[in-house]
A and B are shown apart, each in its own frame.
Chain A
Amino acid sequence: MPASDPGENDHHPIANIDRLIHEPARLMIVAYLYVVESADFLFLMHQTGLTHGNLSSHMSKLESAGYIEVVKEFINKKPHTMLRLTDAGRDAFQEYRERMMEVLQ
């Protein structure tokens, strides 16, 4: 059987998958933020089951990519972090879902 051309795989839908969203923990975060308007750090920790450190790290990566907006504020002199999916994040997640559908079908 002839070996396939390495460049050929680039045209396969899975080759264009957004790897930033594809990571399971980040996928959970984005999926939760997709269905709500905004949520705070503690709520996402409970929903995703991620540890404080894990969530912080993934949150930073998603924020750097412009997929989520992080608003830090103080409530009763205590720090409070709110997260919201940006339009770019919403579009990226929708595109990711479509590509995964193509791959799985």
Chain B
Amino acid sequence: MSAVIDLLEIEKKAYRDSQQDGLMEVIMGLILMIFGGFFYSPIFAFYILLILFSKKIVESIRRRYTHPRIGFVKFHEENRKDALTGVFLLEFAVIIIIFTLISIFGDVKDFSQWVKWSPLFFGMILVGPFAHAASRSGSIRYTGYAILSVVLGLFFSLIEFGSGCTGLILYLVFIGAFLFLGGLVIFSLFLRKYPLPAEGAPDASE
């Protein structure tokens, strides 16, 4: 019986269910929108604070809205060394791809070319967290986000915006808004799917 139990699938389901509130999308969208929207603004420092406290913000919202509805689960810590190696390899691969693209379509010494291709650079960097979430959850939702982030990155890199970082700013605001609004919709559906019982969440102590 147990021999045919797929522990990986059980772990994926537990992870998928723990992320079904859409709050990851909300906070990620917010970070990207602020990064893009306040690119040239002094309020940009606020962005650093948001990144630093994003985990705590999500945890505090989950304590209030998610855990009383579907419960709380703590997963085993991931190997930090493996995670850092993955991030490093992804960034290295992305730089190589962008370098190759600029070599084909322009001059690698021209800084404006790097700015022009920056939406695709960010789009491919975003594949990292989405692919990680997709492999842990087995959810096609994250695969969709990964594809969308690259396709939009390519789209905003190919359009001519004149000067500056307009393409990158528009890309970040657009993908950020998509994730933020999508996350809010998922969150509201989650609240509707799991209404809070009047007598409170069931517990073994009752």
Give the segment of B70-78, B117-125, B151-159 that binds chain A.
Answer: B70-78
Q: Judging by beta carbons under 8 Å apart, are A40 and B206 in contact?
A: no
Contacting B73 at CB < 8 Å: which of A40, A52, A104? A40
Q: Judging by beta carbons under 8 Å apart, are A32 and B14 in contact?
A: yes
Q: Judging by beta carbons under 8 Å apart, are A81 and B204 in contact?
A: yes
Q: Judging by beta carbons under 8 Å apart, are B203 and A78 in contact?
A: yes
B4 within 8 A of A: yes
Q: Judging by beta carbons under 8 Å apart, are B70 and A42 in contact?
A: yes
Chain B: interface residue count, which band? 20 to 34
B164 within 8 A of A: no
C-alpha gap A46/B4 in the complex (Å): 22
C-alpha gap A79/B203 in the complex (Å): 7
Q: Judging by beta carbons under 8 Å apart, are B73 and A39 in contact?
A: yes
Contacts of A59 in B (CB 8 A): 204
Q: How far is the CB of A81 from chain B (nearest CB, A)?
A: 4
Contacting A37 at CB < 8 Å: which of B76, B200, B204? B76
B2 within 8 A of A: yes
Interface string of B86-124 (1 = CB under 8 A from A): 000000000000000000000000000000000000000
- B110-154 contacts to A, CB under 8 A, are none
Q: Judging by beta carbons under 8 Å apart, are B205 and A32 in contact?
A: no
Q: Judging by beta carbons under 8 Å apart, are B3 and A31 in contact?
A: no
Contacts of B67 in A (CB 8 A): 40, 42
Q: Judging by beta carbons under 8 Å apart, are A38 and B73 in contact?
A: yes
- B9-44 contacts to A, CB under 8 A, are 10-11, 13-14, 17-18
C-alpha gap A40/B11 in the complex (Å): 15
Instruction: List 9 additional contacts besides A39-B73, A97-B3; criterion CB under 8 Å.
Output: A21-B2, A22-B1, A31-B10, A36-B73, A38-B74, A41-B204, A52-B202, A79-B203, A100-B3
A sample of 26 inter-chain contacts (CB < 8 A) reads: A27-B1, A27-B5, A31-B2, A35-B7, A38-B73, A39-B14, A39-B74, A40-B67, A41-B71, A42-B68, A42-B203, A43-B18, A45-B202, A46-B17, A46-B71, A47-B13, A47-B17, A55-B204, A70-B204, A72-B205, A78-B201, A78-B203, A80-B205, A97-B5, A103-B3, A104-B3
Question: Which residues of B are in contact with A by a Cβ distance under 8 Å?
Answer: 1-5, 7, 10-11, 13-14, 17-18, 67-68, 70-77, 200-206
Question: Which residues of A are in contact with B by a Cβ distance under 8 Å?
Answer: 21-22, 24, 27, 31-32, 34-47, 52, 55-56, 59, 70, 72, 78-82, 93, 96-97, 100-101, 103-104
